[in-house]
């Protein structure tokens, strides 16, 4: 899957002489356009929590208003997490909104939609890598075990045979050990049967 900005070098996307840009919310031109990631909603339900974030863009006044509004809406669903997560995050962004000039994403010419998509792809890549690592570790841990070890090692190898990091040699080694264990078991079983 390719995305249009994949092939564009990042440097060339920087705005050369940004000057005043229109606020997408109120339409007023501003020298201090901000784009920040903040929680869209947070739900804390004692045994766990779920949350989603979004990128908000606007002049300092509009961006402060949307952050205050999002923070207010999340008081009840976030409850405990509001104090430890939502409030500090909001305060940091509110303070940052008083800095002069456009914020980094604005200067890099990354729209809120692009920023969100980059975030999604980064998270997907991270969870793929983690899954491969989990399987590689399981394969290495259980490869010595007859019967149980083989599916683990085979699964680890299947998940990692195209990996470029340590998971590939580890899972390949686990599969080799598992194959050797099974060959040994087969030889011993055959020897016992023939006796």
Kindly write out the interface string for residues 152-171 of this chain, putting x where it contacts Zn ion by CB under 5 A and - elsewhere.
--------------------
Residue number with CB closer to Zn ion (69 or 122): 69
| Pairwise CA distance, residues 30 & 98, whole Å | 13
Is 21 near Zn ion (CB under 5 A)?
no
Element (H, E) at 37: strand 34-44
Residue number with CB closer to Zn ion (26 or 188): 26
| Pairwise CA distance, residues 43 & 80, whole Å | 10
Among 18, 21, 25, 54, binds Zn ion (CB under 5 A): 25
Residue number with CB closer to Zn ion (19 or 48): 19
Cα distance between the two ends of the chain: 59
Q: Which of residues 37-96 bind Zn ion (CB under 5 A)?
A: 58-59, 62
The alpha carbon of residue 52 and the mean position of all alpha carbons in its chain are separated, in whole angstroms, by 12
Among candidate residues 152, 150, 157, 151, the one with its CA nearest the CA of residue 173:
157
Q: How far is the CB of 22 from Zn ion (least distance, A)?
A: 9
Residue number with CB closer to Zn ion (29 or 151): 29
Bridge partners (DSSP) listed for residue 34? 58
Residues that bind Zn ion (CB under 5 A): 23, 25-26, 58-59, 62
């Amino acid at each position: 899957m390719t995305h249009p900005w994949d092939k564009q070098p990042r440097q060339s996307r920087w705005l050369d002489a940004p000057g005043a840009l229109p606020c997408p919310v109120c339409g007023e031109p501003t020298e201090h356009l901000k784009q920040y990631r903040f929680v869209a909603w947070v739900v804390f339900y004692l045994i766990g929590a779920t949350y989603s974030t979004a990128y908000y863009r606007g002049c300092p006044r509009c961006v402060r208003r949307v952050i205050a509004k999002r923070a207010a809406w999340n008081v009840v669903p976030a409850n405990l997490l509001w104090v430890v997560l939502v409030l500090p995050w909001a305060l940091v962004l509110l303070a940052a909104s008083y800095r002069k000039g456009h914020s980094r994403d604005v200067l890099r010419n990354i729209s809120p939609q692009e920023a969100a998509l980059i975030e999604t792809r980064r998270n997907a890549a991270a969870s793929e890598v983690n899954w491969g690592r989990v399987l590689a570790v399981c394969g290495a841990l259980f490869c010595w075990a007859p019967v149980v070890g083989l599916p683990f090692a085979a699964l680890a190898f299947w998940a990692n045979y195209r990996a470029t990091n340590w998971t590939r040699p580890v899972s390949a080694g686990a599969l080799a050990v598992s194959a050797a264990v099974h060959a040994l078991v087969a030889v011993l079983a055959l020897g016992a049967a023939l006796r």
